[in-house]
Amino acid sequence: MADYRIGVLKGDDIGLEVVPEAVKVIKDAVKPFDTNIEWVDLPVGMPSYKENGETLPKKTFDSLFELDGWILGPIGHMAYPKNDEKAINPHPILRRQFDLVSNIRPAKSCDEIPSVHKNVDVVIVRENNEGFQPDRNMYKGNGEFMPNPDLAMSMRVISRRNSHMVASTAFELARQRNGLKKVTAIHKNTVFKLGCGLFIEACQEIAQEYPDITFETAVVDTFSMHLVMHPQDFDVVVTTNMFGDILSDLAAGLVGGLGMAPGLCVGPKYVMAQATHGSAPDIAGKQIANPYAMIMSAQMMLSWLGNKKKDADAIEAANNIERAMTTVLRSKNDITPDLGGKVNTSQMGDAVCEAL
């Protein structure tokens, strides 16, 4: 029997609707097993700003160190008050401070859901805390600056340490999955000879530890074309931060959109379930948001924690969630309008629980 402490940070807008569905499904999934979960509700985002005067209260931040992992709902930071140091975007801070180096973003098609391609099952693993992203690639200051009003410069950071970590995550996933047992490392070392060169070198070093996994590299522009035309050729894809951010959205578009794109941020100690879609303020409060990505992000978290603690019950509960979700998608009766169905957010969550 394993015990877990998991945080619930609902986020903004539709996060208030989809995160409770993820929690509901996890609770039902573990009922048949000796897996105990203590759920810890923590304020974050605009609701927290209105109540506590800050989007990431110190209490929330400090509490996370005592947890095994947490669910973070979508963050609508573009609507936060400007020039207020208490109205910060929480997720890059959490990714960096908790060393959540690897961002795992699967894209899997379902025959019954309209999509550009069928038989797609690819996972993109992106480095999370470096790259061009200026809000997380510096210890202090910002990775973008303007020496004069007509010149803007952006700094890109690539380290061997983080490249090793994200590559290890990719190879471990390839070993666990029932896919092609292949890792494809994406780069542009024809131009970024040092940055991408270091990243590929680090991936090659990790590849030596996994002789059972096929390893290949591809230039990002050529890979993008190949992914659009023949996504079935790929299994696990590993790449740097900006490339991964773009390619994972592209992959989601091939299988039905961002509503079908879960995500998981992992590091040596902590895990954060975070769907890749935004907070969708235009549909917030209408109970029409698709909970798939949030539920499956939580499912990935449960599976990751189970593997980490060698908890067969948690792993089986996570597998059951995946099977139940597939049943719901195939029925077409209990899916939200964006997928062609007629039920609301909560009813789709109920259907997954019933399928369990």
pLDDT value of position 83: 87
Can you identify the CATH homologous superfamily of domain 1-106+257-356?
Isopropylmalate Dehydrogenase (3.40.718.10)
Q: Tell me: the pLDDT tens digits for 222-273?
A: 999 999 999 999 999 999 999 999 999 999 999 988 888 899 999 999 999 9
Task: Give CA angle at 297 (296, 302), nearest 5°.
Answer: 90
CA distances (Å), 102 to each of 143, 163, 172, 312, in order?
Answer: 20, 9, 12, 23
pLDDT value of position 22: 97
SS3 (DSSP) at 117: coil
CA distances (Å), 194 to each of 141, 160, 201, in order?
Answer: 23, 11, 10
Q: Judge whether 73 and 23 are in contact, CB under 8 Å.
A: no
Q: Judge whether 242 and 132 are in contact, CB under 8 Å.
A: yes
Residue 337 identity: P
DSSP state of 278: -
pLDDT beneath 70, residues of the chain? 1
Residues 244, 240: Cα–Cα separation, whole Å? 6
Residue 47: both structure tokens together: 């609701």
Extract the runs of DSSP E, i.e. beta strands, from the chain: 2-9, 35-41, 69-72, 102-108, 121-127, 144-148, 151-154, 182-187, 214-219, 236-239, 264-266, 271-273
Sheet of 121-127, strands arranged across: 35-41, 2-9, 69-72, 271-273, 264-266, 102-108, 121-127, 236-239, 182-187, 214-219
| 1-106+257-356 matches 116-129+158-255 in fold | no
Architecture of domain 116-129+158-255: 3-Layer(aba) Sandwich (3.40)
The domain spans of the chain are 1-106+257-356, 116-129+158-255
pLDDT value of position 216: 97
Produce one character per residue of 184-194: b if its CB has 16 or more CB atoms within 10 Å, e if not: bbbbbbeebee
Q: Judge whether 267 and 100 are in contact, CB under 8 Å.
A: yes
Extract the runs of DSSP E, i.e. beta strands, from 166-301: 182-187, 214-219, 236-239, 264-266, 271-273
Q: What is the pTM of this model?
A: 0.91
**Sequence-distant (≥ 6) Cβ neighbours of residue 45 within 8 angstroms:** 9, 10, 11, 12, 15, 55, 73, 75, 76, 90
Residue 46: both structure tokens together: 């605009």
Q: Angle formed by the axes of helices 345-355 and 312-331, to 10°? A: 120
Beta-bridge mates of residue 348: none
